[in-house]
Structure 1
Amino acid sequence: MPSNKSRNTLSRQWELLKLLPTSGSGETARSLQNRLAEAGFPTTKRTVERDLEDLSSVFAIRTNDKSRPYGFSWTPPTSLQLSAVSVYEALTLQLVQEALRPLMPSAMLAALKPRFEQAHSKLKALAGISPAADWPAKVASVPAYLPLQAPAIDPATLSCVQQAVLTERTLKCRYYSAHRNQSADLALTPLGLVQRGGITYVIATTPPHSDVRQFALHRISQAELLDIPGEHPEGFDLHAYVASGAMQFGDNAVQTITLEAWVSAGLLGLLRETPLSEDMESMTADDGGWIRASVPDSWELEWWLLSHTGSIAVTAPETLRQRLIQRLRNGLELYDE
């Protein structure tokens, strides 16, 4: 059974949480001490300060230190209705925060900010005490490709695009085409956002055309949200679109081909650990081996094949083989003096 002192401390701290304002510059520790006394919990100003320090490691309490005495309040839009997070919830929030940033509308992400801060405070308070709290320092994620720096995205443009996706309205903007090296004014119907490595793509149509295209978000400028409903293709499903291979790029990216190739012994070992497809077949030979797999006929495939030059030789299909030979010849010419 908890002691009377423990019960009194818990009751006092619970009352203190209820006294914290949700807006403004906050209540001072002295003011909270007086209000606690009026509520039947006489205590010292120092005890109130210690209580607030302890509670801040669990709840999203903000300290206004712009002037003295400090003010204390809930971090907007938090209130006492926001329950405390467990250490495992804090771990999850900490690990997903960066992953969510480019994918969620700014307004939605702002609503989660108090939770993220709460999770950070929780883990910081438990560091060195709970082994689980140290987990974020013991895990990391790195890309399997050359980590290029993510392009800069204008925050106002990002917010406008996200609102267009969320409200299914038309987006007026200027778009720079790197392929054509020119900019053009467009009216887009955004259908969704896709994160591919460090680049965010807006999946959209350009009415009156109904074909679905990809637009790099960092190349969009002068974005304006129009009060015009977007023209969405009937039956469009973003996840089905991604699963089709469309985001691997290329005119035939959604078409599947049967890739046949000779590979070195080292690459064959890697592909047996991480196959190119579920139906990949392999056979060992004296100087390496052979593989056969169903894969999208995409630029992504060509980039991967070219990255293993010296360890793989495509034998089929012939059209892919000839494209690779030409690209290798073009590359070799760049090194000719």
Structure 2
Amino acid sequence: MSDTLIRQWAMLRTIPRFPKRIDATTIHTRLEDMGMSVSLRTVQRDLYTLAETFPLNFDESKPQGWCWREGASQLEVPSMDAHAALTFNLVEQYMQNLLPRSTLSHMAPWFDAAQGVANAQASTVTKWQEKLRVIPHSFNRIPTQIDPDIQATIYRGLLAEKQLEVTYRALSTGTDAKTYPLHPLGLVVMEQVVYLVCTVKNYQNARFLAVHRIDAARLLEEDAKRPEKFDMDAFISREFGIRMGDAPLNLTLRVRGILSKYLAETPVAHDQVMTPINDEWTQINVTVPDTVQLRMWLRSMGPDAVVMSPAFLKEQLAAEQAELQRLYSE
């Protein structure tokens, strides 16, 4: 393979997509870093030669900036295969609410290329797109709408680790929206809702905000500060759900039917212990957080799961059932 072809292919890979740009001097430096000895003048000539064949744009600024044209198709050597196309198809289908709008725009040529492969190759791999669906375990609801400009600002703050100023409507307080600075730490997606994990002002305790309730967001110049020993996974385990009590519960319940098999396959927690009671019932002992989600899960199982302890939780659910019976008998 000729040195010219190798050099020009390396140059094409160095040129960014619109709206980012790169100048000939930077390309020359990167080629030298790759061990390619070439003059700056040769790089400049190569750029104009490549622009005659490939969809490249340049501006009149000094130094002159080069980029791939907006909407230019993705150049892949070797070309994208069916396995890669399937991956891009699934990312486009299921990650729309998670990826920044700028990332989705940047990925558009790959998405288009993947769709072209899927259309051209009726292989068993591309047929996965027709055969695969991801559905929520809970009752399906319409996803919340997030302002794309607000989302883009939040994601920029996360990626650049900069503070944000947001205007937020708290659902629980019922008060007017409030504006304050925060330090973004991460994103969590739960039941089709995107949450921003952050600290507010100078407080060290992390909290989470529903992104769709943020009415305005502005990127600040100050660096975001991460609390010492903050652990995202520990925070999720502690805060997602809505806590009813600080201490975990030693839950004992009896289950029957197919539910006992489900819980054997997918335990509630690592310390779960299952003990047969008789041919119908199985006892479950497990440590769980004291949350609203726990109660929702217990209610969802109906008469196939009966709480034995703690006593206060058993009494609470029994009172709810009595109230439901009264309401349905009216």
CA contact (8 A) 2:169 2:178 kept: no
Match of 1:234 among 228, 236, 241: 228
Equivalent residue number for residue 163 of structure 2: 170
Match of 1:249 among 225, 242, 263: 242
Q: Distance in 2 between matches of 1:79 and 1:276?
A: 45
Match of 2:112 among 117, 120, 130: 117
Identity of aligned residues (%): 27
Deviations 1:85-130 (A, max 9, x none): 1111111111122333222232223222211111111111112xx2
Question: Does 1:299 find its partner at 2:298?
Answer: no
CA contact (8 A) 1:158 1:217 kept: yes
Q: Distance in 2 between matches of 1:326 and 1:186?
A: 41
Q: Distance in 2 between matches of 1:272 and 1:110?
A: 44
Specify the SS of the correspondent of 1:144: coil
| CA apart distance, 1:307 | 1.2
* Inter-CA distance 251–166: structure 2 relative to 1 (3 Å threshold): farther
Amino acid at match of 2:96: R
| CA apart distance, 1:79 | 5.8
Question: Does 1:271 find its partner at 2:260?
Answer: no
Equivalent residue number for residue 212 of structure 1: 206
| CA apart distance, 1:213 | 1.1
Give the paired residue count.
273
Which structure 2 residues correspond to residues 1-337 of structure 1 after superposition, within 5 A?
76=71, 80=75, 84-127=79-122, 130-187=123-180, 188-242=182-236, 244-252=237-245, 255-284=247-276, 285-332=278-325, 334-335=327-328, 337=330
Deviations 1:186-216 (A, max 9, x none): 3222211111121000111111222111111
Specify the SS of the correspondent of 1:325: helix
* Inter-CA distance 327–223: structure 2 relative to 1 (3 Å threshold): farther
* Inter-CA distance 332–259: structure 2 relative to 1 (3 Å threshold): same
Specify the SS of the correspondent of 1:182: coil
CA contact (8 A) 1:103 1:194 kept: no
Which stretches in structure 2 are left out of the alignment for 5+ residues? 1-11, 19-48, 50-54, 56-67
| CA apart distance, 1:251 | 4.6
Deviations 1:265-303 (A, max 9, x none): 342233223322233222231442211122222221111
CA contact (8 A) 2:248 2:287 kept: yes
Aligned CA-pair RMSD: 3.3
* Inter-CA distance 75–126: structure 2 relative to 1 (3 Å threshold): farther
Deviations 1:121-180 (A, max 9, x none): 1111112xx222222112222222111110111111111111121222222222112212
Amino acid at match of 1:103: L
Q: Distance in 2 between matches of 1:293 and 1:151?
A: 34
State TM-score, norm by structure 1. Answer: 0.71
Specify the SS of the correspondent of 1:294: strand
Q: Distance in 2 between matches of 1:117 and 1:186?
A: 40
CA contact (8 A) 1:261 1:292 kept: yes
Which stretches in structure 1 are left out of the alignment for 5+ residues? 1-17, 24-38, 40-59, 61-72
State TM-score, norm by structure 2. Answer: 0.72
Q: Distance in 2 between matches of 1:251 and 1:316?
A: 16
Specify the SS of the correspondent of 1:248: coil
CA contact (8 A) 1:207 1:231 kept: no
